């Protein structure tokens, strides 16, 4: 175990941006940060001991998010991007303003991109995100004429985390989940869970070629860029290599993440700080 604190406090390196997810879904956000903000150093946390988040209650999600942000504050991050739609849908409003750095979520940037692009919008997401109706509400707030269909896809996260993307089961599951969206004749599909862009080749093969895809990470990172500029926090020095922390097995995460990162990441297991109110206590 390594709480990562000491070397961060001693470091003279520029403050990193913190991002977190339940597991490897956040890598699709990390990819966007590398593309749009190549000078930013990133600290990644994957709560792999407690995934999937999508079947958790709002109280549990809020507790986990507060724990993660408390730990990130100890690491000296200058900003946090929630690389998790479930956390963004269920906890962003509550935690914004509780920490001494900006916290950005995926729902609003994703809804904005979707409302701009399409009229008949399908959203695939975790059960918790769909139950919250965060995407429907955000999209219709931006443009009430937009129609939205939300579909919960609880089997997708285990498929990605167990590295079963290229299997007949993955195809069968995708075909089943997309049925109602095909029937609704959607023109736009929102990846409402950061794990799902990992399944893009499978999903794309079932939808008409005219369908447009919205990855909310693209818009969230663009919004983060503006915020960093506005706060004069943008780094101009070269980034240091991303540090990965997980609550579960570091070896498992390493083995899974290498295919998207293209190299073996350095991953450490950590224990998050206990907070006063634990919903499971
Ligand atoms: N990747 C996360 C999301 O965007 C969480 C998925 C899960 O753990 O259920 O919602």
Lowest mean pLDDT: which of 121-125, 131-135, 275-279?
Answer: 275-279
**8 has pLDDT over 90:** no
Give the pLDDT confidence score for residue 279 in this predicted structure. Answer: 60
Q: For residue 89, which atom of ligand 1 is closest to its CA?
A: 10
What pTM was estimated for this model as a whole? 0.94
| Nearest to 87, CA basis, from 123, 111, 61 | 61
Q: What is the largest CA-CA distance in the chain?
A: 57
Ligand 1 interacting residues, C-beta cut-off 6 A: 21-22, 25, 51-54, 84-86, 126, 129, 157, 193-195
Give the pLDDT confidence score for residue 67 in this predicted structure. Answer: 98
Catalytic one among 27, 42, 193, 257? 193
**31 has pLDDT over 90:** yes
| Spacing, Cα 195 to ligand 1 middle (Å) | 6
**256 has pLDDT over 60:** yes
Mutate to test the pocket of ligand 1, among 20, 22, 159 (most ligand atoms within 8 A of CB): 22
| Spacing, Cα 275 to ligand 1 middle (Å) | 22
Q: Known catalytic residue: 153?
A: no
Please give the average per-residue pLDDT across 59-80, as a whole number.
98
Segment (H or E) for 65:
helix 58-74
Tens of pLDDT, residue by residue over 225-235, are 999 999 999 99
Give the pLDDT confidence score for residue 277 in this predicted structure. Answer: 67
| Spacing, Cα 13 to ligand 1 middle (Å) | 30
**127 has pLDDT over 50:** yes
List of domains in the chain: 7-105+219-269 (3.40.50.1860), 107-216 (3.40.50.1860)
Segment (H or E) for 170:
helix 168-183
CA–CA distance from 226 to each of 18, 229, 251, 265 (Å)? Answer: 17, 5, 36, 29
Mutate to test the pocket of ligand 1, among 83, 84, 220 (most ligand atoms within 8 A of CB): 84
- Whether residue 8 contacts residue 77, with contact meaning beta carbons closer than 8 Å, is answered with no
Tens of pLDDT, residue by residue over 180-202, are 999 999 999 999 999 999 999 99
Give the pLDDT confidence score for residue 13 in this predicted structure. Answer: 76
Closest C-alpha residue for ligand 1 atom 8: 52
Q: Which of the four pLDDT bands, split at 50, 70 and 90, describes residue 276?
A: confident
| Spacing, Cα 147 to ligand 1 middle (Å) | 24
| Spacing, Cα 24 to ligand 1 middle (Å) | 9
Q: How does DSSP assign 190-211, residue by residue?
A: EE-STTGGGGHHHHHTTS-TT-
**57 has pLDDT over 80:** yes
Q: What angle do CA 157, 34, 129 make, to 5 degrees?
A: 30
Q: Which of the four pLDDT bands, split at 50, 70 and 90, describes residue 147?
A: very high
Tens of pLDDT, residue by residue over 41-56, are 999 999 999 999 999 9
Q: Which of the four pLDDT bands, split at 50, 70 and 90, describes residue 2?
A: very low
3-state SS, residue 279: coil
Beta-sheet strands, E only, within 203-271: 212-214, 243-246, 267-269
Q: For residue 195, which atom of ligand 1 is closest to its CA?
A: 1
Give the pLDDT confidence score for residue 5 in this predicted structure. Answer: 47
Q: Is 262 left (phi over 0), alpha (psi -120 to 50) or beta?
A: left
């Amino acid at each position: 175990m390594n709480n990562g604190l000491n070397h961060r406090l001693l470091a003279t390196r520029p403050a990193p941006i913190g991002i977190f997810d339940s597991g490897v879904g956040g890598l699709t956000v990390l990819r966007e940060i590398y593309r749009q903000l190549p000078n930013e150093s990133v600290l990644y946390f994957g709560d792999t001991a407690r995934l999937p988040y999508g079947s958790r209650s709002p109280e549990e999600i809020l507790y986990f998010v507060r724990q993660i942000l408390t730990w990130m504050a100890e690491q000296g991050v200058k900003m946090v991007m929630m690389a998790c739609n479930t956390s963004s849908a269920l906890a962003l409003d509550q935690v914004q303003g509780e920490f001494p750095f900006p916290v950005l979520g995926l729902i609003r940037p994703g809804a904005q991109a979707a409302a701009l692009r399409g009229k008949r919008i399908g959203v695939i997401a975790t059960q918790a995100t769909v139950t919250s109706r965060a995407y429907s509400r955000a999209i219709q707030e931006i443009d009430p004429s937009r129609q939205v269909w939300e579909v919960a896809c609880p089997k997708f996260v285990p498929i990605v985390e167990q590295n079963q993307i290229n299997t007949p089961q993955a195809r069968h599951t995708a075909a089943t989940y997309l049925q109602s969206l095909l029937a609704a004749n959607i023109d736009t599909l929102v990846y409402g869970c950061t794990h799902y862009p990992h399944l893009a080749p499978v999903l794309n093969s079932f939808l008409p070629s005219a369908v447009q895809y919205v990855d909310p990470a693209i818009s969230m990172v663009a919004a983060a860029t503006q915020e960093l500029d506005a706060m004069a926090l943008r780094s101009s020095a070269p980034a240091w290599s991303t540090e990965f922390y997980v609550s579960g097995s570091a070896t498992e995460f390493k083995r899974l993440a290498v295919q998207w990162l293209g190299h073996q990441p350095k991953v450490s297991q950590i224990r998050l700080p206990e907070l006063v109110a634990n919903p499971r206590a």
